[in-house]
Amino acid sequence: MDPVLADLLQLLTLERVEDNIFRGQSRDIGSPQVYGGQVLGQALRAACQTVDGRVAHSLHAYFLRRGDMEAPIVYEVDRARDGRSFSNRRVVAIQHGRQIFNMTASFQIQEAGLEHQAEMPDVPGPDGLEDLRDIKRNVLAKLPERVRRFLTIDRPFDVRPVDMPDFLSNEKLKPVKHIWMKTIDRVPDDKETNQVLLAYVSDYELLGTATLPHGLRFVREQVQMASLDHALWFHHPCRFDEWLLFSFDSPSASGARGLSRGQVFTRDGVLVASTAQEGLMRERKSS
């Protein structure tokens, strides 16, 4: 397995401290604090470790404080309920004696039932699209050092935007974004690992969709952004080593907050997950 991907899978495998208590580490991916998707993925993994015979179908989380990349994160799981069909878990993430994050996740036995889904957007497939890392050097040279590092660091995912962003433009765009993603190598077949990977990635690029109508670019440090809450619903199993289309839109921004929604489709059009996030979105005033 590719070592970058193997390192991510190791990061998402927690140390069991005792019943219902787990410990995770962090990785620097070029962001100024612990990446929110890492905490989502680790919290979901902790909850999964306390459930047997049921699969996660939703999670709802709040980001309370910035995570410290130099300190471990302790996850405490409350086994809130085990019913005949559903189980509920509450997970609290703690650093330096304080909550930085909390999440509720729900699990269900596998059942058949009525089905319908939204149609997949009519966009080009991933073949022939540029990866996000293929940014021109002359563009990178005009971006802040911290942002250059974030954009060029080795990633465990192929990320191919349908429309490559123009990092130097202040053009106001529709609040819509489509991105193809998959892991750069094969991953284990189990549903839990693929759900944890999906949770990890679900925080990536989502909130930025809300900045598009305002001509602001996070990579140019024109806006202060931070995840506040996050929801994720799993509809069908998926493999993350096969292409998935992340289709994002933002219906609203107000009160220094932006709301973004996402749908995740397989290449053949199956809607496997939906997500939503509200985040802090403050314009940085130039001096």
pLDDT digits over 8-38, tens only? 999 999 999 999 999 999 998 877 789 999 9
- Tokens encoding 244: 């998935």
pLDDT tens string 182-202: 999 999 999 999 999 999 999
Task: Give the least confident one: 73-82, 143-152, 175-184.
Answer: 143-152
Looking at 87, 227, 260, 274, which residue is catalytic?
227
Sign for the CA dihedral angle at 132, 170, 261, 7 comes to: positive
Q: Return the domain boundaries, the chain.
A: 3-109+127-283
pLDDT of residue 220: 54
pLDDT band at 131; cut points 50, 70, 90: confident
* pLDDT at 113 exceeding the cut of 90: yes
Q: Which of 87, 203, 249, 274 is catalytic?
A: 203
Is 268 designated active site? Answer: no
247 included as an active-site residue? no
Which CATH architecture is the domain 3-109+127-283 placed in? Beta Barrel (2.40)
pTM confidence score: 0.93
For residue 263, indicate whether it is catalytic.
Answer: no
Pull the structure tokens for residue 173: 């765009």
Is the model's pLDDT at 181 over the cut of 60?
A: yes
Q: How confident is the model at residue 134 (pLDDT cuts 50, 70, 90)?
A: confident
